[in-house]
Amino acid sequence: MSSLETLLDAAFDAYNQGEFEHAETLARDVLNAEPAHGDALYLLGLIAYRAGALDPAADLLYQAVKLYPDTPSYQLTLASVLQKQGRLDEALSYYDRFPDHPMGRAQAGFIYLLKNQISFAESAFQKALSLQPDLPEAELGLAQCDIQVGGFSDAVARLEKLTDETPLPDALVCLASLYRRLNRTEEALSAVNRGLAITDNASFEVEKGLILEQSGQPEEALKAYRRAVDLDPYRSDVWANLGNVYHKLNDVAKAEDAYKRALQQDLNYPEAHHNLAVLLYEQSRMTEALEHYRAVLSRHPDYLPSLYNLAVIQEENGDEVEALGLYFNVLSRKGMFPDLDWRIANTLTTLFRKGRKEKKQALDFAKGWVKNFPDNPVAVHTYAALSGKKEKASPLAYTRRLYENFAPTYDNLMKQLDAKALSGLIDLMPDGTYRSVLDLGCGTGAFGRAFQAAGRHIKGVDFSPEMLAFADKTGAYDALVEGEISAFLQSDTNTYDLIVAVELLGYLPDIQSFFSLVSNRLNKGGVFAFSVETTDKQHAVLSESGRYLYPLSLVENCLAEAGLSMSDNRSVDLRREGQGFAKGQLIVARWQ
């Protein structure tokens, strides 16, 4: 055996024993003597790969493959590095050179999974099993295919069998992740702890952190992520998760540092860019936030969270055309966010009111919205409001669609819009016992929170189960009813001392019949308190904002026809709208 072969054997022995610095020194000694030594280049590539230095690893392995193109281990390891870099098609081309290599087929299957080509992935894993029936990586891959298509029960059964037979760390991590996804927290932690009993592995600590976060234990999650960093400081996802917990704990400086450390490991990591941008935006560091959102989209143009947030920023900056382009880009990719319909409608209204050119742009956008999404009642209603054409969608369908996913952000939005109807209406209402109270369109329960007192029975009505879930959490309501308001008033047999309707009339095209239904549900001397957005015209109008506006004289006449007399009213700025406020009235009426 030559001295170089002896030196190289010693280098591989050192590598296998975990003495990586010594292994690198010996391998470089070999290269100094013979610069085109394939095995030495390969070993240095392995060492760089393990250290997370993917670019140098790929360069070294490319050199080894070029020198010895017929050595499978060189090409398969290069394929693994390319896969880790996200260069999936290039990695796949190397795996495909060895169609009868079991592990190569399994890794090709994992790439197909990443590309969401499930049928190709299943074929690759089945091929790997035909070549090596006991290959656990292929079984793991088939379990992940089951997960991708929603076959969670099949995936659990496959993974439980796999982890009973073979303590494969990746399978235990996958099982723990699936248990977490199914809210089977104790089983998820058990799988993680089984894995940690086998090996100190950063993946198990990451999964443990995710489980603890989901269980509402951010401090414990932080400990798990810190252990993961100690085990593998080169993993970008570990640093990103660490940043997420620091963000939740309001430790802004540490969160920012963790996200930046994640990007040091992988500049292409979209979640790190995105979450750092969110953090910077919250600190009003707008230029830096935009830089990171654009960094995500330059590399991952389909990353919808960044696409959406960038649209929100452009809307807030007054660039409605750019914002609408981004919002519709999100829609075209079937991205759904709770307030997306509302934001599009609001941005169209703002653009429409700017000037003649902008009015045409808004109408063109709205027309395109209807053309591409004809079944969306918000699109149809908004186009009708802007164009002045006859409404082709049910106002109820419009309101239901607008608010069905709005509950989590509704209260914050009202604060941002400086909404004054609720507080002003409570101030205007005359003193009274009001033992029985009906809150029409109760939403998230803002009125109940503000008006609860001993001896009052408060019932809330809303068509949105999501809104009612938030109202229920207030503890202010004795009863909550899901249903359309007019239908409820027609079927209800109870009467009330007080009925309130805050910011409701803007979604009703017919207040005369509504007032009559309300009158039938009031006790003698009962109070009806409500807000209404008003217009100077002599008839009701559908405004550009998509809400119905009523002249005060029409409101008074409709109240009188329903047997209600207006006892007090006050002009009010209802909420911010564009550069000003929506004008309206707070009204108190009685049934005599």
Instruction: Tell me the domain boundaries of the chain.
Output: 338-405, 419-591
Q: d(Cα 260, Cα 69) in Å, to the nearest integer?
A: 38
> Which residues pair with residue 395 across a beta bridge?
none
Q: What is the pLDDT of residues 452-498, one digit of tens each?
A: 887 899 999 999 898 999 999 999 999 999 999 999 999 999 999 99
Residue 522's φ and ψ, nearest 5 degrees, are -95, 140
pLDDT of residue 56: 92
Q: Residues of 346-369 as b/e, b for ≥16 C-beta within 10 angstroms?
A: bbbbbbbbeeeeeeebbbebbeeb
Q: d(Cα 54, Cα 51) in Å, to the nearest integer?
A: 8
Domain 419-591: assigned CATH number: 3.40.50.150
pLDDT of residue 273: 96
Task: Assess contact for 45 and 81: CB atoms under 8 A.
Answer: yes
> Which residues pair with residue 568 across a beta bridge?
588
Inter-CA distances, 300 with 264, 313, 315, 398, 560, Å? 18, 19, 22, 33, 60
Inter-CA distances, 400 with 12, 283, 331, 343, 441, Å? 67, 34, 19, 15, 11
490 contacts: CB under 8 Å, gap ≥ 6: 517
Inter-CA distances, 404 with 311, 340, 482, 509, Å? 21, 11, 12, 20
pLDDT of residue 166: 64
pLDDT of residue 2: 67
Q: What is the pLDDT of residues 370-410, one digit of tens each?
A: 999 999 999 999 999 999 887 665 777 888 887 777 777 88
DSSP state at residue 579: T
pLDDT of residue 85: 85
Ranges of the chain with pLDDT below 50: 1
